[in-house]
Chain A
Amino acid sequence: MKKPYIASFILGLLMVLASVLARVMAPSVDMANQQDRINLASMIPGEFNGWKIDLSVVSPIINPEVKSDLGKIYTQTLSRTYINNRGERVMLSIAYGGDQRTDLQIHRPEVCYLTSGFEIGPMTKIFVDTALGRIPAMRLVAKQGVRIEPITYWIRMGDSLTRGWFEQKAATLSYELSGKVPDGLLFRVSTISNDEQDSYRIQQSFLTSLLQAVRSEDRHWLVGRMAPSR
């Protein structure tokens, strides 16, 4: 055989081998394919430890365009406002997404609020102390005009809890490299108030009560299976 023919043959063969290799290396999607087993609305109780759903507030105003976008990204979302007997209100927002690769990835609140016209203050990584253990979370304050909204959130990727872009990416990548596609869940609570410290105190007591009220076999959906130690 002549030399150019050999070169062509090797090039072609290597390309076919690469295509096979890419297919073998692609992670399987088993972990992410469980959206039919989650039901946020029934998992999160409507009333617990002095908190109940505030029916006077029709869930925080979302404009229809944003809503249709949310449907594309998340398989399930839950958005409720709770009120306690002292009249303190907490907005709870949970979004569950299956396959956490590329464009289906959970959007971090600092990005969502920014693209919705809010200004975002500095973010701090903290641990929320709950009766179930210390939960890693992120705190930030969003502002739009006179509306000041302190936020606490975490994002569960597979079984790890992440805060911010880097931790989220690192968790996804380490799952992918071990051959799994993680699912993801955004857990966010916020209050509208200009007293930051007071807001965080209310949010913490809300979180603790809520996590205790959720049935123990359902908790892993919210905080992952590697339950934070006491």
Chain B
Amino acid sequence: MNNSTNSAFFDRLPGMKAALPEWWPIILGLVVLYVPTFYDLFIGLWATEEQAHGPILFALAIWLIYRHWPLMMEKSAGEHSAVFGWIIFVLALLFYIIGRALQVYIFEVGSLIWMLSGILLVKRGSSALKVVWFPLFFMLFMIPLPGTLVIMLTMPMKMAVSYVTEHILYWANYPVARNGIVLQIGQYQLLVADACAGLQTLLTLEALGLFYLNVVRHTSALRNIALAILIIPISFSANVIRVIVLTLVTYYFGDEAGQGFMHGFAGIVLFLSALILILSMDKLLRLIVNSRSGSAG
């Protein structure tokens, strides 16, 4: 596996060299614009625990573009440049300037998507964009959301997680009560924290799910779309499972065990339960799709 990607990389080197005279000004421009941006992200926001998925999604996006590049060049050979690419490009520059000067990440990082689209439209025409739409779309997930929006979305999600957790534990005969986002179990009081809302989990899982679907390339559109949509309730359930486990650990082993568990093991529980749920959904969908095509044929 490793060998084949390496040799593929070296096979592509001569082609890259040949393209350099035409592409170097663009590469230089992108480096000048975005190295400072991503440097700031790496030492700032992406270094925090809540945003740790940022660099991973960034690396995957770059890999996706690298992977789609040869096909894009092939499909767009001899194509005329699209004039509206210039308009998108100039808009991207404006977004960048505003975002960079006023530190608005959604403009600054978001401008990269417009910038690349504009450049490709100018250089290779609209058929190029049709090939690389997915990597560009995927980049949306790595834009850090504005804090106000996160707070607005997080609060109702925390309420929902607390509500469901309370009802499940109550139904299982535990001495549990809830006041807003504060859960009371036995003598312990737990505040459902921002991380438990699972907004970042949801976005990360959705991004990784779409990435998986794109790389595997299922032929059934039904299965792709269904799985992409199902990731939303799956991520919610995974978060409820995490909060329930956390609550029960606190109930049986005390506050300290709960806090220790929260920072060590809870994330693993979350991703394991999400993974198991996604894989079983995938399996179920495959059975449904197969039986449908079976009856048709």
Contacts and interface: CB of A to CB of B under 8 A. Distances in A.
B96 A103 contact: no
B297 interface: no
Contacts of A221: none
B151 A7 contact: no
Interface stretch (A36-44, A114-122, A152-160, A184-192): A114-122
A176 B101 CA distance: 9
Interface in B13-72: 21-30, 32-33, 36, 45
Interface string B215-227: 0000000000000
B97 A18 contact: yes
A25 B97 contact: yes
Contact of B96 (A11, A22, A165): A22
Interface string A117-155: 111000000000000000000000000110000000000
A39 to B, nearest CB: 28
A144 B181 CA distance: 10
Given A21-B97, A105-B147, A11 B29 contact: yes
B21 A5 contact: yes
A15 interface: yes
A119 B24 CA distance: 57
Q: Is the interface of A mostly helix, strand, loop or mixed?
A: helix
B105 to A, nearest CB: 7
Interface in B85-107: 89-90, 93, 96-97, 100-105
Contacts of B25: 8-9, 11-13
Contacts of B193: 65
Contact of B180 (A4, A8, A19, A144): A144
A11 B151 contact: no
Interface in A56-110: 63, 65, 101-103, 105
B23 A8 contact: yes
Contacts of A102: 103-105, 147
Interface residues of A, number: 37
A33 B25 CA distance: 38
A14 interface: yes
Contact of A4 (B36, B123, B148): B123
Contacts of B22: 4-5, 8
Interface residues of B, number: 43
B290 interface: no
Contact of B93 (A18, A26, A103): A18
A7 B22 CA distance: 9
B122 A18 contact: no
A7 B81 contact: yes
B104 to A, nearest CB: 8
Contacts of B148: 165
Contact of A18 (B33, B104, B119, B194): B33
A55 interface: no
Contact of A103 (B30, B45, B155, B182): B45
A206 B180 CA distance: 31
A22 B96 CA distance: 8
Interface of A: 4-5, 7-9, 11-16, 18-19, 21-23, 25-27, 63, 65, 101-103, 105, 111, 114-119, 144-145, 165, 173, 176
Given A15-B33, A19-B96, A102-B105, 11 more contacts: A7-B81, A8-B24, A8-B26, A11-B25, A14-B29, A19-B32, A19-B33, A21-B97, A22-B96, A111-B151, A117-B191
21 contacts: A4-B22, A4-B123, A5-B22, A12-B24, A12-B26, A12-B27, A13-B25, A14-B93, A15-B93, A15-B115, A18-B97, A19-B36, A25-B97, A25-B101, A27-B101, A103-B147, A111-B151, A117-B179, A118-B180, A144-B180, A173-B102
Interface of B: 21-30, 32-33, 36, 45, 81, 89-90, 93, 96-97, 100-105, 115, 119, 122-123, 147-148, 151, 154-155, 179-182, 191-194
The list of the 6 closest CB pairs from A to B, nearest first, reads A12-B25, A15-B29, A22-B100, A25-B101, A12-B29, A117-B182
